[in-house]
Every structure is written in structure tokens, then in C-alpha cells.
């Protein structure tokens, strides 16, 4: 039985204590290099697979320092501190440049925790949207390989059909809002790695905000995992509602705020990004 | 002329390339150890003061691994990569434990950039609230020293007057919402370090959400700086409107989403936290 393409891309070869060798997967190619969500997922998988990992992921920040090149990369992963019920991680990905010098292409930090039952509340209820099976399969540009790995059902805020630089006429809190149902196209079950990848599926908010195609790329992504593995198991290979909206666009950068819910309305993760845009 | 207490607390002694010695300041004491915002500010100041710093802060993530003890600490700060117009930073703070062993108490990453003029939009307009001078100076518990450094004018979501575990009757998007005007009490002008500190002034959302005092502390804070130094100079020593609301509270952690605006309505920074709470 062959590995699912997502799991195949997560594979790392341990080289030494905290050092892993990986190779980007053509199955997850973006316009340039690999899908950033896949890279984030690779780090998350390395953490949860670590022999000394305490608990489950709660917080993750990944910084994309440069376009990751297709090919080999080295992940360095270190436990910065282990407390009674929480653990902090520091990581970095390096690649050789054209001169053979190792250059840092990604940095980040994460926290895992053994979670306890407490009082809880969901102050981010899932918006009322049509069920995924009532919506058409999104028309995905096949030139972007990683997009074909997902079954996406758009609700609002899809890619502009006309790139006419017409700023959104919607109220500001909807002007760059995208909502879509998403799941792995061939039925891989959701886990922490897949959830991290899903947090990065949004195309740049600036595109929908002003119907203008401009180069853009994620600089920093933070994911707060609210679900534990039991809740992720309940999702299985089902749909997740993914929502993101831009907040402030200024001088080459914008930020977005997002949330991922299970079809049953459970908030699985909240996520934020700082994104570069050219103009 | 003596230094302002904020600037005095920012002082670091360079020890070696990328290694600085600091000492926590009693003037910024929290209930245990120093105010976390002051620690974040110290890192930001070290970055912007660095001889090789490119541009101005755009993104910052700080993880609090343990309560920082009063006394000496060591900051390690490293440039992970310098691109044409962006630069990525990695840092860590260590303190000696009771056995004299150095232990990591804080990790983080930051990005600075030389920003260019582009199209822009503010999709997070400042909420309509009463002007700061029309509101009373907040009654601040003097037992928490750092709070006395700020002039705070509460709008909504102040500390509960009665801790009766009565869950907020407000709609969910207001149930843990706090809005307050804040400025340095003795007129220090806002800069990137002070803005980073201000991003951490909110008491735990869980307290206002359910009128229940429970131990809580920030685990990870991310700040996206939208303002440049020219906009911060315009704020000067004026008020900033600080807003935060909780999103998901579950199994010992909640996240919050916040924004800081100038009195003129300019969004200076958006900020997010993942916060531990006991029950």
C-alpha cells in the first residue's frame, strides 16, 4: 500500500539529534517552490512524532524567510523547555544556495501541551453557510499542483473572475472575506499536520479585496490549535469550513485573521498571517 | 536628566556578538516577575538598536516559556536572514535557575522591513467610543506596579467588580471584549518598543468573560506592526485605543484577537495571544 501524497511529503530522514533531511514534493508544488502549508505541516509532524513530545500542538508560528526551492532541505528542531504540562519548540529550515552555502529559509516556534478539562466557551460560532454538498466543486487552476489535492467548495470570496482593480463594494468586514469548505480530495483524515496545512490554503486577501493580481506571499503564519486529537478524529476526512479576512493593508504588507471549523461547528483552530504584497 | 522608567528598563549591556545582559526592573513588576509586555519591548528595542537592523519592525512573536524571575537575564539575538528589503530575527532569553543552570524562559522571532508605498486600506476601522478625556482615570490596583505606569481610561470590559462566576450576558462577540484608552502616564512618546508593550496590557479575557478569577498567563503573543515610525511620531505621547476579545476558550487555553489604534483612528498594530488559564 503506497503512502497518501500528504504523508509521503511529510517524510523526514533523521540525520543527527534534532536534525532531519527532507525533500520537497512535486505533488505539493506551488507557483514557485512548495505550498507553504505543506512546509508548516512537515514541522508539525516532526514535533508530534518526536520521542520526547509532551502533549499535542497548541501554538505554532512559522516565518517564511525566502521562497523555498524545490529539492532537499534540512530541518533543525529543538526543545527549548519542558514544563510539567507544556513544552516549547524552536525550529529552522535551511537549504543550500547556488554557491552551496546553507541559508535559512524558515524559522519558527511551537508549543505543545498536555491539556486538562476546564471551563470552555466558543465565542467564534461558525457562520451560517450552505452545506458543502450543495456547493459546486471549485474550478481550480490545475497549474498550481497543490490546489488539486483539495476538494474546495467556495461559499463567498472566491478568486475574482475579472481582474479590473475594482475595490470591493462590500462593507469593510466582508470586503476581503473568503469562506470555503475544504477537505483532502482523496480522503486523508485530518490531524495536526493537515490542520496546519489547511490554515494556509487562503489565496492572498489583497487579490479579492481589489480584484488586482499582484505578487504576494506569506511572511509569518500563526496557528492556535483549539481542537485536540479526539476532536480531529471526529472530523475524519470530512469538510472543514475555512474563513479568512484581511484587516489592515499598508505599505507592502497586510494581515489576515482566520478560523477553521468542523462541519459540526467545532472551532478547530484560529490562525493569523502577515503577508507581503507588491502593489 | 534621568531616563524615563520605560527607557531605563530597556537598557542592555552587550556581552558578545548577539549576546546582551539585562536586569528586570522593579518599576515594571507584575504579580510575579516583570510585565511580559516590558520583556517583549526589550527585545524590540534590541532589534531596532542593532547596527545591522534593516528597516522597521513588521512582525513579532514572543513565547513566554516560564515566569521570568526578578533579576538578571541574558538575551541572545541573531539575524537569521537579510533579504533586499526584509530581515528575519531569532531570539531567546535565558536565566539561571536556583542551581545556576541557564534555562530558556522566552523564545521568539521577528521580521523587520524597509517598507515601500503601496495601495492600502484599513478594514478594521476604530470603533466609535467616547474620547479619553471624557472618561475617568481607571482605578488601578497599586499592588501591580506596572499598571501604575499607564494612564488607562476604560470604555467597556473592565475588571469585574464582583467575581461571582456569572458568565457574560452579552452577545458572544462582546462577551469578552475590552476597550480602553491607554498612554504612558508621564508622557513618554510611543515607539515600536512601547507599542509592543501596549499590545500586552490586557488582563486575561477569561476574567471578564466569566467574572471568575483564575490564574492565567500569556503563552504566546504575536504583534503585526502596521504603523511606521512616522505614524508613531504623530501619536507622540497621546492615547492609543486598545481593544481585545477572546475567541475560543477550551481545555486550559484561550486565544484573543486585538488591535491598537491612534486617537486619530490609524490602526497601529494588530495582535493575538494564546493564553493559559487554570480553570
CB atoms within 10 A of CB B72: 12
CB contact residues (below 8 A), chain A span 198-257, against chain B = 209-210, 212, 219-220, 222, 224, 226, 228, 245-253, 255, 257
In which band, very low, low, confident or very high, does the pLDDT at B175 lie, cut at 50, 70 and 90? very high
Which has the closest alpha carbon to B274: A14, A88, A64, A225? A225
Å from A223 to nearest chain B CA? 10
Distance CA B90, CA B60 (A): 10
- State the average pLDDT over residues A244-263: 98
Interface test with B, best of A172, A228, A255 (most B CBs within 10 A): A255
**Partners of residue A94 in chain B, C-beta under 8 Å:** none
pLDDT in tens, A145-158: 999 999 999 999 99
C-alpha distances out from residue B163 to A37, B167, B171, B227, B250, Å: 43, 10, 20, 38, 20
Are B111 and A220 inside 8 Å of each other by CB? yes
Identify each DSSP E strand in A114-215 by its residue range. Answer: 121-122, 150-156, 178-184
Please answer yes or no on whether A272 and B224 come within 8 Å at the CB atom: yes
* Beta bridge pairs of residue B151: B183
Q: List the single residue in A125, A247, A259 with the smallest CB-CB distance to B172.
A: A125
- Whether residue A13 lies within 8 A of chain B, CB to CB, comes out as no
- Residue with cell string 486585538: B258
Share of chain B above pLDDT 70, in %: 99
Q: What is the per-residue pLDDT for A205? A: 96
Q: What is the pLDDT of residue B1?
A: 61
What contacts B114, CB < 8 A, 6 or more positions away? B54, B55, B56, B85, B86
A266 shares contact with chain B (CB less than 8 Å): no
Neighbours of A34 (CB within 10 A): 25
Chain A residue with the nearest C-alpha to that of B67 = A83
Q: ipTM greater than 0.90, yes or no? A: yes
Residues of B in contact with A226 (CB under 8 A): 248, 250, 253, 255
Quote the pLDDT of residue B228: 97
Asked if residue B161 has pLDDT above 90, the reply is no
Residue (of B203, B198, B216, B209) closest to B260 by Cα position: B198
Residue of B87, B231, B248, B275 for testing the chain A interface, max A β-carbons within 10 Å: B248
Q: How confident is the model at residue A261 (pLDDT cuts 50, 70, 90)?
A: very high
Q: Do A123 and B220 count as a contact with CB atoms less than 8 A apart? A: no
> Is the CB of B66 less than 8 angstroms away from the CB of A59?
no
Interface size A-B, in CB pairs within 8 Å, comes to 218
Tell me the C-alpha distance between A101 and A108, whole Å: 21
User: Residue A10 — φ and ψ, nearest 5°?
Assistant: -80, -10
**CB proximity A274 to B under 8 Å:** yes
- Rounded (5°) CA angle B257-B260-B263: 150
Asked if B123 reaches chain A (Cβ–Cβ under 8 Å), the answer is yes
Nearest to B148 by CA among B26, B2, B28: B28
- In angstroms, the separation between the Cα of residue B276 and the nearest Cα of chain A is 10
Question: A168 in contact with B at a CB cutoff of 8 Å?
Answer: no
B172 reaches A (C-beta below 8 A)? yes
pLDDT for A229 equals 97
pLDDT tens readout for residues B34-65: 999 999 999 999 999 999 999 999 999 999 99
Say which of A167, A270, A277 has its CB closest to residue B118: A277
- Is residue A35 within 8 Å of residue A154, measured between CB atoms? no
How far is the C-alpha of B206 from the C-alpha of B279, rounded, in Å? Answer: 9
Q: For B24-40, what is each residue's pLDDT tens digit?
A: 999 999 988 999 999 99
Cα–Cα distance for residue pair B140/B161, rounded to 1 Å: 13
Segment holding B38, helix H or strand E: helix B36-48
Quote the pTM value. 0.98
Q: Could B249 and A172 be called an inter-chain contact, meaning their C-beta atoms sit closer than 8 Å?
A: no
Q: Report d(CA A269, CA A79) in Å as an integer.
A: 23
Distance (Å, rounded) from C-alpha B209 to C-alpha B245? 9
All three cell numbers of A256, joined, read: 489576515
State the pLDDT at residue A140.
72
Average pLDDT (A233-253) is 98
Q: How many other CB atoms sit within 10 Å of the CB of residue A242?
A: 25
Amino acid at each position: 500500500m503506497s503512502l497518501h501524497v500528504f504523508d509521503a511529503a511529510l517524510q523526514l530522514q533523521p540525520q543527527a539529534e534534532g536534525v532531519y533531511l527532507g525533500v520537497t514534493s512535486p505533488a505539493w508544488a506551488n507557483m514557485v517552490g512548495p505550498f507553504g502549508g505543506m512546509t508548516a505541516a512537515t514541522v508539525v509532524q516532526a514535533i508530534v512524532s518526536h520521542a520526547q513530545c509532551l502533549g499535542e500542538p497548541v501554538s505554532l508560528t512559522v516565518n517564511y524567510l525566502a521562497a523555498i526551492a524545490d529539492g532537499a532541505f534540512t530541518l533543525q528542531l529543538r526543545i527549548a523547555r519542558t514544563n510539567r504540562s507544556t513544552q516549547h519548540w524552536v525550529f529552522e529550515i535551511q537549504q543550500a544556495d547556488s554557491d552551496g552555502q546553507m541559508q535559512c529559509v524558515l524559522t519558527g516556534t511551537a508549543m505543545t501541551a498536555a491539556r486538562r478539562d476546564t471551563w470552555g466557551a466558543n465565542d467564534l460560532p461558525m457562520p451560517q453557510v450552505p452545506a458543502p454538498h450543495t456547493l459546486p466543486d471549485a474550478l481550480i487552476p490545475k497549474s498550481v499542483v497543490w490546489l488539486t489535492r483539495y476538494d474546495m467548495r467556495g461559499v463567498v470570496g472566491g478568486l475574482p473572475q475579472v481582474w479590473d482593480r475594482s475595490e470591493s463594494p462590500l462593507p469593510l468586514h466582508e470586503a476581503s472575506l473568503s469562506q470555503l469548505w475544504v477537505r483532502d480530495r482523496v480522503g486523508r483524515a485530518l490531524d495536526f499536520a493537515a490542520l496546519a496545512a489547511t490554515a494556509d490554503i487562503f489565496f492572498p486577501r489583497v487579490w479579492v479585496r481589489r480584484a488586482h493580481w499582484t505578487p504576494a506571499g506569506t511572511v509569518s503564519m500563526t496557528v492556535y490549535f483549539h481542537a485536540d486529537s479526539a476532536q480531529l478524529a471526529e472530523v475524519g476526512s470530512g469538510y472543514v469550513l475555512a474563513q479568512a479576512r484581511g484587516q489592515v493593508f499598508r505599505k507592502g504588507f497586510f494581515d489576515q485573521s482566520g478560523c477553521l471549523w468542523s462541519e459540526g461547528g467545532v472551532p478547530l483552530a484560529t490562525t493569523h498571517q502577515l503577508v507581503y504584497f507588491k502593489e
